Amino acid sequence: MKIIIKEVNAGFWNPFEEEETPKQKLSFCVICGLEISNEKTYACPHCSAVGHMSCFDDWLLIRKTCPLCRRTIAEG
C-alpha cells in the first residue's frame, strides 16, 4: 500500500511573540475527535485535515480516502 499523506506537527511557535512559552495550536483529530497535543499526526495533502497517526493508520486499513474531503490519499 502506497500512502500519500504527510506528517505534521500539532503545535506552532512564533519566535517574535513576547511570551516566554510557545503557544499550542488547538486542533482536533478528524477521525476520533480528540484533541491533538504533541503526538505524531498525519494531514491530508488535499484539504489539510489533521488526525492522530494511529487513527489514520486504522482508517486507511478500511478506506483509502480522507475522512473529511473523501479524496483518495492511499493506493492499494
- Write the pLDDT tens digit of every residue in 2-56: 656 555 555 555 556 555 554 556 689 999 999 998 889 999 999 989 999 999 9
- Using an 8 Å Cβ cutoff, are 74 and 4 in contact? yes
Rounded Cα–Cα distance for residues 36 and 27 (Å)? 6
How many domains does the chain contain in total? Answer: 1
Domain CATH number, residue 24: 3.30.40.10
Rounded Cα–Cα distance for residues 74 and 76 (Å)? 7
Grid cell 492499494 in the structure block, residue: 76
pTM above 0.85, yes or no: no
* Residue ranges making up the domain that contains 6: 2-75
